[in-house]
Amino acid sequence: MLFMEFSHCCERLENLSGRLEMIDLISKELPGLSEEELPIFVRFVMGRIFPDWSQTKLGIGPNLLYEAIAYVAGEKKEAVVEKINSTGDVGKAVEELLAIKSQTTFFHEDLDLVRVYHELMSIASQEGKKSQREKLLSVRRLLGNARPLEGRYLARIMLEELRIGVGEGSVREAIAKAFGVDSALVEHAMQALNDLGEVARLTRVGPEALNNVHITVFHPVRMMLAQAGTIPDMIKEHGPIAAEFKYDGSRFQFHKKGNWCRMYSRRLEDVTGALPDVIEQLLGAIDHDVIIDGEVIAIKDGRPMPFQSVLRRFRRRHDVAEVSAEIKLVPNVFDILYLDGETLIGLPLSERRKILEITVNFFIAPQVVSDDPAIIGQTYQAALDAGHEGIMLKVLSSPYSPGQRGKNWIKIKPEVDTLDLAVIGAEWGEGKRAHVFGSFLVACQDQGTLIPLSRVATGFSDEQLAEVYDLLKDRVIAKSGKEVTFEPNLVFEVGYSELQVSPTYQGGFALRFPRFVRIRDDKDTSEIETLDSIRERYQRQANSPQVQ
């Protein structure tokens, strides 16, 4: 497939608003693609380049991209930035710049999908001191051969934000439709493989191939997530349920094969280097090849320490030894996904638990199984007394559902009024804070679209503002006066006193007294609060006696 054909397809998708029409359009493209093209198309159309399990990063920030665009367009970088700010979209800006330039250029090598992918792989593989220069040259070469419309999508793909409104769910449906397979089966395979590109390839082979998928060690699987709920509802619905402490630390997925092991964070980043002591503890407790799921917490004098201390450890990779002495980290293991070549995620929790108990010798999170609300209530109290966040209730017959925030895992914790929101913009600070961002625009999501909800300017220490600045400074995609817009990547937990109905923001809600609580760098922007859950909170708040 020529990259131009792909670009036309993206353009048509961008102009559609109905999900079904999008699914239909994508499903018609898939059967004609070659073996090599199919997974690439599937990932590109979602604005992704590499498999979701992969640690490969393109390593191109907006700055490098702007520099390459400036070179190719024969403009100054400032002019490029100006153009991006005025169009509010890197893709459109590149398209316009290339359109002006192509009036004077006659020679183009045709780009095709596979070649673009190979170029991007080679850009990703450039590492080391001179890599930025090499990456720049490669991006210049790619953009130099791009026609204007191709430039629009190439630039957006390089920033991994295609903005054509195609989500993973739609692509999954399109794959099912294209090859006449049940979409639940496509989802089943995705859960184990964590790469929709590969899943598309197997779907074409047939249902049998999808049924037979296995998890691969060192290909991290998305974490199963929890919903809020209540003890009586869970018992009423399921009878005996499993209750575990809800540890307030950082989620991990530990993979071990022979003498080799890796540890992944909730965002599936490889954090092996940051946690040598945790790894050592786990290796001492397991002889088999496994993938296990758990939460690592920080302990001081026998009690759990605040979550921030764990995160700090995840982030600091340089002075690991020094910090290890300061904070003791302890893994709590609560699930097993794979054992010695067998994929276990389809087994009921009760079975997985038995396997876990005979496979892992220490660090298993205690579990109470009961249908008595009083006993589960005591477990909840015991968790709070011991300084944990609350409890998790789990349905004993449930499979492990990667990436799902379903009703099979329910979290019970004291109601706190905080929301996890994406940081989408900021305003520069004032006075002594003039060199950092001072107030932030945060957003919730509605079906994958970001909806601004509030500005957050309080609750930060100077140190936190500096840290946030560091994390965001290379993510600026547009500027206007004192305002900047970010490529959404960072999640804040934001406290508030009350939700208010407000015409100021498009979602119809605003926060009263918003304040920064902490950075949630274990979460990515797909996991932020939804507009629906905010509506529900608003409803609960309206019904609560405190507000009436």
Residues binding ligand AMP (CB under 6 A): 223, 225-226, 244-247, 251, 295, 334, 365, 392, 411
- Among residues 409, 219, 308, 548, which one has the least CA distance to residue 316? 308
Other beta carbons within 10 angstroms of residue 56's beta carbon come to 12
- Give the type of residue at 301: D
> Distance (Å, rounded) from C-alpha 196 to C-alpha 88?
30
Side-chain half-sphere of 315: how many Cα atoms within 13 Å?
A: 14
Task: Give me the phi and psi of 504, to 5 degrees please.
Answer: -60, -40
Do 45 and 196 meet the contact criterion of CB atoms below 8 Å apart? no
CB of 520 to ligand AMP, least distance (A): 8
> Distance (Å, rounded) from C-alpha 25 to C-alpha 177?
11
Using CB atoms within 10 Å of the CB of residue 244, give its burial: 0 to 12 exposed, 13 to 18 middle, 19+ buried: buried
> Distance (Å, rounded) from C-alpha 272 to C-alpha 264?
7
Choice between 334 and 496, CB closer to ligand AMP: 334
Choice between 198 and 420, CB closer to ligand AMP: 420
CB of 334 to ligand AMP, least distance (A): 4
Choice between 91 and 403, CB closer to ligand AMP: 403
Choice between 147 and 523, CB closer to ligand AMP: 523
> Distance (Å, rounded) from C-alpha 322 to C-alpha 5?
54
Do 461 and 503 meet the contact criterion of CB atoms below 8 Å apart? no
Side-chain half-sphere of 176: how many Cα atoms within 13 Å?
A: 18
Which distant-in-sequence residues (6+ apart) come within 8 Å of 514 by Cβ? 442, 454, 455, 456, 458, 494, 495, 496
Choice between 27 and 332, CB closer to ligand AMP: 332
> Distance (Å, rounded) from C-alpha 436 to C-alpha 428?
6
Active site residue 177: no
Instruction: Decide: helix, strand or coil at residue 417.
Output: coil
* Segment holding 190, helix H or strand E: helix 183-193
CB of 246 to ligand AMP, least distance (A): 4
Choice between 225 and 323, CB closer to ligand AMP: 225
Which distant-in-sequence residues (6+ apart) come within 8 Å of 137 by Cβ? none
Q: How far is CA 308 from the centre of its chain?
A: 19
Q: How far is CA 55 from the centre of its chain?
A: 13
CB of 248 to ligand AMP, least distance (A): 7
- Give the type of residue at 419: L
Instruction: Classify residue 127 by its DSSP letter.
Output: -
Choice between 79 and 365, CB closer to ligand AMP: 365
Residue at shortest CB range from ligand AMP:
251
> Distance (Å, rounded) from C-alpha 382 to C-alpha 338?
31
Task: Say which residue the tokens 């903005």 belong to.
Answer: 163
CB of 20 to ligand AMP, least distance (A): 31
Catalytic residue (choose from 177, 246, 256, 394): 246
Choice between 219 and 246, CB closer to ligand AMP: 246
Give the DSSP letter string of 234-272.
HHHHHSSEEEEEE--SEEEEEEEETTEEEEEETT--B-G
> Distance (Å, rounded) from C-alpha 113 to C-alpha 121?
12
CB of 184 to ligand AMP, least distance (A): 24
Choice between 72 and 392, CB closer to ligand AMP: 392
Choice between 76 and 540, CB closer to ligand AMP: 540
Do 265 and 271 meet the contact criterion of CB atoms below 8 Å apart? yes
Task: Say which residue the tokens 């009263």 belong to.
Answer: 512
Instruction: Classify residue 166 by its DSSP letter.
Output: -
**Active-site residue set:** 246
